[in-house]
Structure 1
Amino acid sequence: MTIPTKTDLGEMTAAELSALFSTGKASPVEAARAALDRIERFNPAVNAFAHVVPESAMAEARASETRWAKGEALGPLDGAPTTIKELTAVVGIPWRRGSNLTDTAPAQHEILVVKRLRAAGAVLLGTTTSPEFGWKGVTHGPAFGNTLNPWRTDRASGGSSGGAAVAAALNMGVLHEGSDGAGSIRIPGSWSGVFGIKPTFGWLPADAASPLMQLAHRGPLTRTVEDSALFLNAVTGPSPDALYGDCPAPVPDWLEATKGGVKGLRIGYSRTFGYASVAPDVAAAVERAADRLAGMGAIVEEVHPGFASPLEALRVLWFAAESVIVDRFARDDAHRARMDPGLVAIAEIGRRFSAQEFLAAEHVRAELKVTMARFHERYDALLSPTMPITALEAGIDFPEGEGMTDWTDWSPFTYPFNMTGQPAVSVPCGFDGGGLPIGVQFVAARFRDDIVLRLSSAYQAAYPEAFPAAPVIV
């Protein structure tokens, strides 16, 4: 690990900060102050945080500073300024989940991903925004308002890990926990211009009950692939508390997995999956990314992955799960009136699905897993756009007048791989004509997260994209 040449701690990555901490050239206290300063300066323009906890963050940073001084650091993430998505409970912070119907008292429990980050020494700055109960791919809702795109504040950040993605883009902290049930790490990663990975379901055991069950993955959003690998090293591994999924052994060293380059990897490139429409600027940027990878030695072949759109099956699974959540918190019409109307609407649809319809959707999911497993007998990875469009206008769920009925209509590339449980990432690969980020998606076979990390790391090293110096206020 090389010592960075940057001088502003607030601009540094987790890996760069760790290098400085190890030599005593900077301290976790200074890094925490720098991150909190960026939150104070930038967050009013973008609204990425639900709660900020400077007092406890500074206490954690001082404890980390002491460990580094004694040569007893807990690992490379000791002292790393970190945020947690507001859907994830954190002791001492109200667990609102973007809703006006949840408890405003500080949470008394937290789940495995937070416990493992604490065990690695991460300094928790606060919680980042989500739409109500994470139900959609944009981040605005009744409890915390609208989270805005750092590249243009009249545009959406994406969601449901919108606050995490915006915090990553502006380096308001260096590690940002997110969750992804149908694209909720990759959508905001693409629209906000950062790296995000939805790991294979199982590497990070799911110890929190959820009606989404194995659709809902947790993972990081960061500026660099290296930082996400460090995050995964801290949080992956088996647990007896896992409710869903299994974690195989041994667990790879994810930082080591980023190495090796792309030469010889067989990549199937699909422009549309055979059913999606893609904006010209997005198509051109992803085409360029495919050409670049071929130039780096990958074997890139244009091919469709071989499945029809599984959208209707996804909606059965998704809407049914959301109906369970709504019914848990909204006991009457007065409660429902305080919720996001779009969430209430899809819950009503989900409530009407029969058991037979739910089982039919599960069968579609099972067949999709087989189709992709066969695809990966021929190809190491699938390459596609992450999103078919760049960021929507802020504050809307879907464009009017285009035949759409909900947000899932405009995210055709993400949710198939929640249904299969495969690793999928979004890597920045350019900008559209209006200066909005574009992401390219890499997908690999289940438990081959090493391949998407290798691809992403090599691509980012060869073709790094810019990050915003400050929110672009429009």
Structure 2
Amino acid sequence: MTFLHESATALSRRIATGDLSSTEVVTEAIARMDRIDPALNAIVWRNDDDALAQAKRADAAVAAGDDLAPFHGIPIPIKELTWVAGQPGTFGSLGVDDAPRPHSDRVAELFQEGGFILHGRSNSPEAGPMSVTENRRFGVTRNPWNTAHSPAGSSGGAAAAVAGGMAAVAHATDGGGSIRMPASATGLIGLKPSRGRVPTRTPMWEHSIVDGVIARHVEDVAGTLDVLAVRDPHVAYTAPAPDRPFAAEVGAPLAPLRVGLVTDSFNGLPVDSECTAAAESLASALEHLGHEVVPVRPRLYSLEAIQGFLDVVVNAWLWATPYDDPELAEPYIRARRERARGIHAGEYAIAVTRLYAETGPLVAQWGRDFDVLLTPTMATTPPLVGTVLDEANRDFDGARVTESQMVAYTAFCNIAGLPAVSLPVHTSAAGLPVGAQIVGRPFGEAELIRIASAVEPAFGWTTRIPADVR
């Protein structure tokens, strides 16, 4: 078994003490990519030589006794939707040139400041608005637990890389479930931070997209959030500072909580029994720890608000995506961009006003009616590869039931800016991971980390590895 299944936190400690070198870690990541990735297609661009050179410099810093960042010498793949200076950034599209980008997005800079070595770029669906990780430029990313199935999206490349032992932790983004869905599909942890927790220079999709990671260990989710959650005076807004480092929340005492349980889907679509079982399994574990679990029917967004987000806000941002040749985009992307051309500024303003008007009453339920909300992460188990993207391209105006089931529980969190985490608490009869989601109160990541660390030993997900990638 590879040591890349260990936590990045533990590996960084070993590097700092000289028990392990950064060069050894990067060399192992390269070897794993060579051996594992041909079957998964998680990593679509590699900079092996540069990563090794950075690792050697990291080892020299250890030998010299320099001050070390928290994740000194740990390699991490960056999602293809994110720019890194000197690397391509194609948004997963044939319609975007692969020329080296002139600057880095803020999150890439923060990873580097935290000691990480940026190694490779992970696959994503074109431009991000798809619940599976497939595109015409790089092809299909497959699930390490069963390569006939998808690791979901849009951070499916990141999830497959971690589940496949090619990285201990991977960068991910989430605009409607894109961290939590892949985490659920691959047996990992995915925390979507609160709006404003991780600084970004351009708050896209009306401030719903956030950066984070997908990891196997709770301590990595917490530690990387400390690296990313900095106060930056050069961005539009920043979330309130936490009371203490998020890493200190791992294993911290957890006061009794009122847990609101939802198993029916918010959009009325059928819910797979395996997904219901995941939520009920986590509910049982929380009750065992002394928390009160009560079925609830929370107030969420109206159909008009959701349609405004999907059909007006997201389409407008897709139209604004800097394509070099939009005619080479996926058919469903071209359809969405064309629809954006028919929306005038007043309609955008109305759609956004409705979202903000409905967000206040929605968020007020946390702390009043319940402390946290517990749901399945998705309403379906991981779909077969090729089905969801094909459905969108073939009949964009059709029902697209599987895609809607995948985002049924996740998208509202992004619109509201609430933190949420998917935990790998169940395995289906077919052997596929199935996650359950906990949605926290505004800026409540600390509570989510305490919950996750409290149940981590009971479910044993840190040692559950796909057979073909051990």
Which of the numbers 245, 248, 259 marks the counterpart of 1:256? 248
Shift in alpha-carbon separation, 1:141–1:233, aligned structure 2, 3 A: same
Give the distance between the partners of 2:273 and 2:92, measured in 1 at CA: 34
State the secondary structure of the residue aligned to 1:132.
coil
Partner of 2:407: 411
Which of the numbers 431, 435, 442 marks the counterpart of 2:431? 435
Partner of 1:59: 53
Structure 1 runs of 4+ aligned residues shifted over 4 Å read: 398-402
Shift in Å, 1:237: 1.3
CA RMSD of aligned residues (A): 2.3
Q: Could you give the per-residue CA deviations for residues 286-310 of structure 1, whole angstroms, max 9, x where no partner exists?
A: 1121011101111211112222555
Which of the numbers 254, 259, 267 marks the counterpart of 1:267? 259
Partner of 1:468: 466
Give the distance between the partners of 1:301 and 1:253, measured in 2 at CA: 31
Shift in alpha-carbon separation, 1:65–1:133, aligned structure 2, 3 A: same
Shift in Å, 1:258: 2.5
Which of the numbers 406, 420, 427 marks the counterpart of 1:424? 420
State the secondary structure of the residue aligned to 1:240.
coil
Partner of 1:41: 35
Give the distance between the partners of 1:85 and 1:252, measured in 2 at CA: 29
Shift in Å, 1:23: 2.7
Shift in Å, 1:176: 0.9
Partner of 2:329: 339
State the secondary structure of the residue aligned to 1:439.
strand
Q: Could you give the per-residue CA deviations for residues 253-278 of structure 1, whole angstroms, max 9, x where no partner exists?
A: 01112332445122111112553421
Shift in Å, 1:353: 3.1
Q: How many residues align?
A: 459
Partner of 1:220: 213
Moved more, 27-36 or 347-356: 347-356
- One-letter code aligned to 1:290: A
Shift in alpha-carbon separation, 1:115–1:323, aligned structure 2, 3 A: closer
| 1:313 equivalenced with 2:305 (yes/no) | no
Partner of 2:282: 289
Shift in Å, 1:222: 0.7
Moved more, 96-105 or 420-429: 96-105
Which of the numbers 457, 463, 474 marks the counterpart of 2:453? 457
Q: Could you give the per-residue CA deviations for residues 328-359 of structure 1, whole angstroms, max 9, x where no partner exists?
A: 426xxxx4442111111222233323444433
Give the distance between the partners of 1:305 and 1:68, measured in 2 at CA: 51
State the secondary structure of the residue aligned to 2:154.
coil
Which of the numbers 351, 356, 361 marks the counterpart of 1:371? 361
Shift in Å, 1:390: 0.8
Contact 1:193-1:437 within 8 A present in 2 as well? yes
State the secondary structure of the residue aligned to 2:70.
coil
Contact 1:380-1:451 within 8 A present in 2 as well? no
Give the distance between the partners of 1:318 and 1:411, measured in 2 at CA: 17
Q: TM-score, normalised by structure 1?
A: 0.91
1:178-257 superposed matches below 5 A: 178-207=172-201, 209=202, 211-243=204-236, 245-249=237-241, 252-257=244-249
Shift in Å, 1:10: 2.9
Give the distance between the partners of 1:258 and 1:105, measured in 2 at CA: 41
Partner of 2:130: 136
Partner of 1:69: 63
| 1:395 equivalenced with 2:393 (yes/no) | no
Q: Could you give the per-residue CA deviations for residues 374-399 of structure 1, whole angstroms, max 9, x where no partner exists?
A: 21123221110110111111022269
Partner of 1:150: 144
Give the distance between the partners of 2:399 and 2:231, measured in 1 at CA: 44
Q: TM-score, normalised by structure 2?
A: 0.91
Q: Could you give the per-residue CA deviations for residues 49-78 of structure 1, whole angstroms, max 9, x where no partner exists?
A: 121111111111111112222332423300
State the secondary structure of the residue aligned to 2:468.
coil
Give the distance between the partners of 1:360 and 1:184, measured in 2 at CA: 26
Partner of 1:124: 118
Moved more, 404-413 or 211-220: 404-413
Shift in alpha-carbon separation, 1:290–1:386, aligned structure 2, 3 A: same
- One-letter code aligned to 1:352: G
Contact 2:318-2:337 within 8 A present in 1 as well? yes
Q: Which runs of 5+ in 1 are unaligned?
A: 1-6
Give the distance between the partners of 2:91 and 2:310, measured in 1 at CA: 21
State the secondary structure of the residue aligned to 2:365.
helix
Shift in alpha-carbon separation, 1:398–1:387, aligned structure 2, 3 A: farther
Contact 1:398-1:406 within 8 A present in 2 as well? no
Shift in alpha-carbon separation, 1:283–1:78, aligned structure 2, 3 A: same
Partner of 1:4: none
Contact 1:322-1:346 within 8 A present in 2 as well? no
Give the distance between the partners of 1:444 and 1:317, measured in 2 at CA: 27
Give the distance between the partners of 1:406 and 1:434, measured in 2 at CA: 18
State the secondary structure of the residue aligned to 1:282.
helix
Moved more, 315-324 or 425-434: 315-324
- One-letter code aligned to 2:131: G
Shift in alpha-carbon separation, 1:369–1:50, aligned structure 2, 3 A: same
Moved more, 117-126 or 8-17: 8-17
Give the distance between the partners of 2:424 and 2:183, measured in 1 at CA: 8
Shift in alpha-carbon separation, 1:297–1:438, aligned structure 2, 3 A: same
